[in-house]
Amino acid sequence: MRSYFVGGEAGGVGEFAGRHVLAEFSGVAAELLDDPVFLCESLERVLDKAGATVCELTYKQFEPHGVTAMALLSESHASIHTYPERGSAFVDVFTCGHKADPELAVQLLRDLLGASVSRVTTIHRGQEDS
């Protein structure tokens, strides 16, 4: 993996680089996608396993259905926005530095949700070391 890092030492305060993982899941049970407690607990669990530090979790339940769950991380943020009527969700995990693995967080969340289809894109943010 390329290192994307600017200034300071790796792992230090000067890091201004990271990986932003964008995912779309489908084939997920509607009841899971409309359960904010399950989604928040799942998001917290996968982020912890991926090495991220969760500072705060919040969610919004929509009517007639759908949930947005968000995690504020020391490393940046993570979110899931669900469409139970479609069995689908958008997932966004951005972490700065080298401590957390956003790709792992997304894979673990996909598995917890039992998504039958996933499309995942990773964007490297910041500047590459020379």
Confirm whether 118 is a catalytic residue.
Answer: no
User: Measuring CA to CA, how many Å separate 86 from each of 18, 23, 46, 83?
Assistant: 31, 15, 23, 5
Confirm whether 81 is a catalytic residue.
Answer: yes
Q: Which of 81, 88, 98, 118 is catalytic?
A: 81
List the structure tokens of 59. Answer: 């969610």
Q: Which of 40, 79, 96, 98 is catalytic?
A: 96
In whole angstroms, give the CA distance from residue 107 to residue 65: 25
Torsion of the alpha carbons at 45, 86, 79 and 4, rounded to the nearest 10 = 100
Bond into 64 cis (ω within 30): yes
HSE-up (13 A, CA, CB side) for residue 98:
13
Confirm whether 96 is a catalytic residue.
Answer: yes
Q: Which of 76, 79, 88, 118 is catalytic?
A: 76
Active site (catalytic) residues: 76, 81, 96
